[in-house]
Amino acid sequence: MAILPIAIYPRDEKILRERCKPVTKLTDRTSRLIEDMIETMYDAAGVGLAAPQVHVSQRIFVYDIGDGKPDALINPEITLSEGDEIGPEACLSIPRLHGDVPRFTRIVVTGLNRKGRRVRIDAVDYLARVFQHEIDHLNGILFTDRAIQSSLYEITEEEEEERRAEGRKKRRGRGEAGGGIHPVEDEPI
């Protein structure tokens, strides 16, 4: 597995603003990309990572919201959405920026998992937020596009490094190679 370079806004705006192409065939290369994305997500102490964030224009994202069971969704589609709430978000591609974003509290998503099996996931609360954030990436939308603009604030480089170190520490504390991290209020999605 490899740690991939993360696309940073605005430098890498072109890939981050692109609507990604559907995956038409699962290959060994797709599996390696997913494994590398998971490793990259863990290294950055995130809970989700979309393919365009690692410079790949494909409809894939990976996630682990703290249960130590990472997975991927390929060609995800939201088929139902309901409820709404405003909650904090951040993004690995926009380091140090945080803000409040309105999202649905429940969504149903269909797609393929990392083994290529068709799945239907009824996601609520935090998982629904993570899925919506990552699916937005696949459509060229950043969290700042949906954020309440007056809520946006920047943390210091030191605070960002502390956040990442804490995420890595939690992973090591679980005793799992590449294990999960626990979500916290301002965990970058």
pLDDT for residue 89: 98
The angle that helices 157-173 and 28-43 make with each other, rounded to 10 degrees, is 120
CA distance linking residue 34 with residue 37, whole number of Å:
5
Does the pLDDT value for residue 187 go beyond 60? no
pLDDT for residue 182: 30
176 is catalytic: no
In terms of DSSP bridges, do strands 60-63 and 94-103 run parallel, antiparallel, or are they unpaired? unpaired
Q: What domains are there in the chain, each with its CATH number?
A: 13-173 (3.90.45.10)
Identify any residues that bridge with 58 across adjacent strands, giving them in sequence order: 21
Which is higher by pLDDT, 168 or 179?
A: 168
- Mean residue pLDDT across the chain: 91
Average pLDDT over residues 17-42: 97
Does the pLDDT value for residue 108 go beyond 60? yes
Does the pLDDT value for residue 21 go beyond 90? yes
Does the pLDDT value for residue 14 go beyond 70? yes
Tell me which of 134, 176, 185, 187 is the catalytic residue.
Answer: 134
Of the pLDDT bands very low, low, confident and very high (cuts 50, 70, 90), residue 189 is low
User: How is the chain split among helix, strand and coil, in percent rounded to 5?
Assistant: 35, 30, 40
Q: Cα separations (Å) of 141 from 6, 7, 17, 136?
A: 16, 14, 6, 5
Average pLDDT over residues 16-25: 98
Comparing 11-20, 100-109, 161-170, the range with the smallest average pLDDT is 161-170
17-20: list long-range contacts, CB under 8 Å, 24+ apart: 17/140, 17/142, 18/52, 18/57, 18/140, 19/138, 19/139, 19/140, 20/50, 20/51, 20/52, 20/57, 20/58, 20/59, 20/60, 20/138, 20/139, 20/140
Of the pLDDT bands very low, low, confident and very high (cuts 50, 70, 90), residue 178 is very low
Q: Are 52 and 18 in contact (CB under 8 A)?
A: yes
Does the pLDDT value for residue 170 go beyond 70? yes
| pTM (two decimals) | 0.90
The token duo for 4 is 């991939």
